[in-house]
Amino acid sequence: MKITNSRTVLAVAALGLALTVATPAAAAPGSAATGRAGTTCRPGTLDPSPLRASISGLPNADATSAQVRIATPEGCWTGVSGVRDLRGQAPVPPHARFRIGSVTKVFTAALVLQLAAEGRIDLADPVQRHLPGLLPADYPTVTVRQLLDHTSGIPSPTMPDGIEWQLAHRYDRWTPEQIVRLGLRNPREFEPGTRQHYTNMGYIVAGLLVEKVTGHSYAHELDRRIAGPLRLRDTYAPGDDPRILGPHAHGYQAVVRDGATELVDATTWSQTFTPAAGNVISSLADLDTFMTALFAGRVVPPAQLAEMFTLPAVPDVAGGPARYSVGLTAFPLPGGELLWIKTGSRFGYLTGVASTRDGRFRMQYSITGTDAKGEELSRTAQAVIGAALGML
């Protein structure tokens, strides 16, 4: 199915709403026909011109680099643009790693669904049974499924506004229990199972659940259950380490100081405030391998995988229909088909993955946006999404 230009504009605008959550000379965008073993990307008859144009001209005020990978029945293409860092003109290194932000939730959902398939938990189990004492004694029952489809109503912490506070506390270390306690200072958002509101909190608790049930760290289980079996060489949970290990492009955050905008290097940053919800590091090839295997039923058995393509029958907090399943987001395409997506943002990094249910169309991107946590989606990301949707 091809989306017409007018429909593409409308789709990008809708998707942008759904995702709202002086520079050196530009480096020319490049492409690679092949990836690592098991991740071959053959061009075929695919015309990548729209995607190539969407990431041209980097670095600029919106982004310093971009990596994009798309696979369709016509072929596959990987493109890179921009620079590794603003201190020179070195290109983005091959197989560059990046912070995937909330795309982490897809991995966490897969881990929990694996445990359900093994009979070690039931998605209808009360969280309180597995994590006694985490929630107050008089707290209403929250089920494991409600953690994963954002219907738990567990409140999020209230943190100070402003990038300067964030920068001053970028190396703080948090435990999941601290984050939950801080969130519980606020009132419940709603009774569990009655509304949907996308937050990190359910997945932070889900990470604790994985550790309690398995007796191992989240990082260990991610490697043992997913990264290792799928040979994902670039995918890991960093724990307390604020660095990105291995080849990567630097991320930057635009900060206004004394009336002038400057770019602050945001590459090194503790991710302990988003454990199991937004902390994982990966690469384009790894994300494509993971999503392909996941949708094909090779990571989670079919009975449990169905949860990822089932929307809860509750309204969201604004009164609209639920859009989030277990781990994914449903994005309707013209004609009624659903595109299953997940996006993420950490300071300096924007990430997105998308796939049709049958996997015939897949896309991943990483953009080092200069305002990745801003209210509006990066113009570069909008251009990439628009070009990709036009290739459906």
Percentage of the chain surpassing pLDDT 90? 86
* CB-based contact 345:351 (threshold 8 Å): yes
Per-residue pLDDT averaged across 258-265, rounded? Answer: 96
Per-residue pLDDT averaged across 355-383, rounded? Answer: 96
Cα–Cα dist 337/18, whole Å = 17
- Name the pLDDT band for 203 (thresholds 50, 70, 90): very high
Closest CA to 130 of 196, 207, 220, 182: 207
Q: Which helix (H) or strand (E) holds 68?
A: strand 63-72
* CB-based contact 372:191 (threshold 8 Å): no
Per-residue pLDDT tens over the stretch 117-140:
999 999 999 999 999 999 999 999
Residue 40, pLDDT > 80, answer: no
What domains can be seen in the chain, in order of their start residue?
5-389 (3.40.710.10)
Find the helix packing angle between 176-183 and 201-214, rounded to 10°. Answer: 140
Residues forming a β-bridge with 263 = 254
Pairing of strands 329-332, 338-346: antiparallel
- Name the pLDDT band for 11 (thresholds 50, 70, 90): very low
